[in-house]
Chains A and B, each alone.
Chain A
């Protein structure tokens, strides 16, 4: 696998198809999601990531159950999340779920952590959204230790203490799943990723690229500040959103009703305005290639590109066609073009194998944030 990984991230929404008013059942949506994940492998992409939601109209409330099932049906792709809620999930349970998944998938897994911004979900899990950032900091601090230390004694403010706790099973080969921190607009999350030397994933698709540029610049600068390496050595992932047809007018005509009625941005800006302000690309494979290659201008050489392709009521058949086009015509060109002029300092996208190799060769740079300089450089 070359320097970059390409894949898709799904929100898992059950949305009526606005062109037929047909709404899939939850069972259908879940089966379709599995079909999509298998297709990701079939067409030669690298990553399948699922969101986590705990309210209708979404189905993925138990991501590692889904990913465990997909693991059994695939052989090559990395199974990830977008995002796993570090605030409302108990860190011990996250550690357990992903440890088991790692073993089942033979290391083909990583995790993207996020806060979650659906207020009502917090109390369903005994938490308080006003504590979202402190919960993120405390839970993640604990999660790291659970994956790295055999016996954990821990005390915090927002969870019961742990005494002599040992995670079972231990992470595969003693290597914790690689962690990405995902956010749409919160600079604190970029700071968190930089502090620990983890990956930073900018959602990218709901906000203008000028905002993504600011967040990634912050993350890279702070990654260096905390002593994890140069800015170029930071691990960056980006979201993207595409709808592709061989002919760009066909793509626009077919996608418009889905765009106009989509959850999140529907009934707001026009497709044309949204396309010019955000990464959304509705058009031919060549247009998608050009716009995606442009991300590098503000994100630098990066490691992971995930596309959203299966939302807003798009039928399964259409989504699978999108994956055929992505895998067949778009991503092979992106792999080739992104490799051209790629900085030698830009790391390859991390995998279980690469982390294992780094550790065995003693080149692993397990972050030591406490040793970072105490004075901010700016």
Chain B
């Protein structure tokens, strides 16, 4: 069975530690699912290239084509890995803005693995007080273990190994969650709205 993973990453620079964390989470999840006999197809959604389109969508009410493609990748996934840099004690504005314009219900019942990066480990709770509540609000199923990586984690050998372990454990948890949830069913709110309208018309008119 093929599991489709969408990786949303809000890093701004090149190379980006946020993207590096996203890559390692994706590789680890892929490995875990492969071990269980599954196959993984991953699609990366980098937010920087669609930054202007995200703001335009907020102002005009509809997404330009590249952003619509990004929405499509997320909507078609069975699981989402979402990674942001920590800015001012929260996720980055770009990261939040993407989920603000993502069509409602896209993430409902979606297994999500959260990750964040920052200059120091003092920001690590951003996972718990910013990312987790937002995804819970969106009715996503947020994996219990998120991964926070500080600059230090990419430096020394010891902390690098520790990060590797945290990634491995988070990926193992998340792989079990994705397997348990199975293929994500995409809601067709358009058809649902029309059906609800038909019911209302039939009961309302006499």
Q: Does B62 contact A187, Cβ atoms closer than 8 Å?
A: no
Chain B, range 157-206, C-beta contacts under 8 Å to A = 190, 193-198, 200-202, 204-206
Write out the residue numbers on chain A whose beta carbons fall within 8 Å of the beta carbon of B56: 268-269, 273
Q: Does A133 contact B60, Cβ atoms closer than 8 Å?
A: no
Stretch at the interface among A44-52, A204-212, A308-316: A204-212
Q: With an 8 A cutoff between CB atoms, is B59 at the interface?
A: yes
Q: With an 8 A cutoff between CB atoms, is B64 at the interface?
A: yes
Once A206-B61, A267-B59 are accepted as A-B contacts, the answer to whether A133 and B204 lie under 8 Å apart by CB is: no
Once A133-B200, A370-B205, A376-B198 are accepted as A-B contacts, the answer to whether A265 and B193 lie under 8 Å apart by CB is: no
Q: Does A191 contact B201, Cβ atoms closer than 8 Å?
A: yes
Contact of B197 among A191, A269, A273, A277 (CB under 8 A): A191
Q: With an 8 A cutoff between CB atoms, is A138 at the interface?
A: yes
Contact of A137 among B61, B64, B201 (CB under 8 A): B201
**A355 CB to closest chain B CB, in angstroms?**
21
User: By CB atoms of chain B within 10 A, which of A137, A206, A264, A269 has the most?
Assistant: A269
Once A265-B60, A273-B64 are accepted as A-B contacts, the answer to whether A137 and B204 lie under 8 Å apart by CB is: yes
Write out the residue numbers on chain B whose beta carbons fall within 8 Å of the beta carbon of A138: 204
Write out the residue numbers on chain A whose beta carbons fall within 8 Å of the beta carbon of B197: 133, 137, 187-188, 191-192
Chain A, range 174-228, C-beta contacts under 8 Å to B = 185-188, 190-192, 195, 206-208, 211, 214, 218, 222
**B147 CB to closest chain A CB, in angstroms?**
36
Write out the residue numbers on chain A whose beta carbons fall within 8 Å of the beta carbon of B204: 134, 137-138, 141, 156
How far, in angstroms, from A135 to B13 measured CA to CA in the complex? 50
Chain B, range 93-110, C-beta contacts under 8 Å to A = none
How far, in angstroms, from A369 to B198 measured CA to CA in the complex? 11
CB closest residue in chain A, given B201: A195
**A44 CB to closest chain B CB, in angstroms?**
33
CB closest residue in chain B, given A273: B64
| Chain A positions 113 through 138: 1 when the CB is less than 8 Å from some CB of chain B, otherwise 0 | 00000000000000000000110011
Task: Give chain A's interface residue range (CB within 8 Å of chain B).
Answer: 20 to 34
CB closest residue in chain A, given B189: A187
Write out the residue numbers on chain B whose beta carbons fall within 8 Å of the beta carbon of A187: 190, 193-194, 197
How far, in angstroms, from A269 to B64 measured CA to CA in the complex? 9
Q: With an 8 A cutoff between CB atoms, is A274 at the interface?
A: yes
How far, in angstroms, from A37 to B64 measured CA to CA in the complex? 35
Chain A, range 210-259, C-beta contacts under 8 Å to B = 211, 214, 218, 222
Q: Does A191 contact B198, Cβ atoms closer than 8 Å?
A: yes
User: By CB atoms of chain B within 10 A, which of A214, A222, A268 has the most?
Assistant: A268
How far, in angstroms, from A187 to B86 measured CA to CA in the complex? 39
Once A211-B62, A274-B60 are accepted as A-B contacts, the answer to whether A137 and B200 lie under 8 Å apart by CB is: yes
| Chain A positions 78 through 92: 1 when the CB is less than 8 Å from some CB of chain B, otherwise 0 | 000000000000000
Write out the residue numbers on chain B whose beta carbons fall within 8 Å of the beta carbon of A190: 194
Write out the residue numbers on chain B whose beta carbons fall within 8 Å of the beta carbon of A267: 59
How far, in angstroms, from A206 to B196 measured CA to CA in the complex? 25
| Chain A positions 351 through 373: 1 when the CB is less than 8 Å from some CB of chain B, otherwise 0 | 00000000000000000011000
Chain A, range 68-116, C-beta contacts under 8 Å to B = none
Q: Does A268 contact B200, Cβ atoms closer than 8 Å?
A: no
How far, in angstroms, from A277 to B196 measured CA to CA in the complex? 30
Write out the residue numbers on chain B whose beta carbons fall within 8 Å of the beta carbon of A369: 201, 205
How far, in angstroms, from A186 to B64 measured CA to CA in the complex? 19
Q: Does A208 contact B62, Cβ atoms closer than 8 Å?
A: yes
How far, in angstroms, from A370 to B205 measured CA to CA in the complex? 8
How far, in angstroms, from A89 to B60 measured CA to CA in the complex? 28
User: By CB atoms of chain A within 10 A, which of B65, B195, B200 has the most?
Assistant: B200
How far, in angstroms, from A214 to B64 measured CA to CA in the complex? 17
How far, in angstroms, from A299 to B46 measured CA to CA in the complex? 35
Q: Does A188 contact B194, Cβ atoms closer than 8 Å?
A: yes
How far, in angstroms, from A164 to B61 measured CA to CA in the complex? 45
CB closest residue in chain A, given B196: A188
Chain B, range 61-84, C-beta contacts under 8 Å to A = 61-62, 64-65
Contact of A265 among B59, B198, B202 (CB under 8 A): B59
**A247 CB to closest chain B CB, in angstroms?**
28
**B25 CB to closest chain A CB, in angstroms?**
33
Write out the residue numbers on chain A whose beta carbons fall within 8 Å of the beta carbon of B61: 185, 206-207
User: By CB atoms of chain B within 10 A, which of A133, A188, A211, A369 has the most?
Assistant: A188
Contact of B60 among A156, A191, A206, A376 (CB under 8 A): A206
**A192 CB to closest chain B CB, in angstroms?**
7
Once A369-B205, A370-B205 are accepted as A-B contacts, the answer to whether A191 and B59 lie under 8 Å apart by CB is: no
What are 30 A-B contacts defined by CB distance under 8 Å?
A133-B200, A134-B200, A134-B204, A137-B200, A137-B204, A138-B204, A141-B204, A141-B205, A185-B61, A187-B190, A187-B193, A187-B197, A188-B194, A188-B197, A190-B194, A191-B197, A191-B198, A191-B201, A192-B197, A195-B198, A207-B61, A207-B62, A211-B62, A265-B59, A265-B60, A273-B56, A274-B60, A369-B205, A370-B205, A374-B202
**Residues of chain B whose beta carbon lies under 8 Å from any beta carbon of chain A:** 55-56, 59-62, 64-65, 190, 193-198, 200-202, 204-206
Name the 5 nearest CB pairs between A and B, nearest first. A268-B59, A188-B197, A191-B197, A269-B56, A268-B60
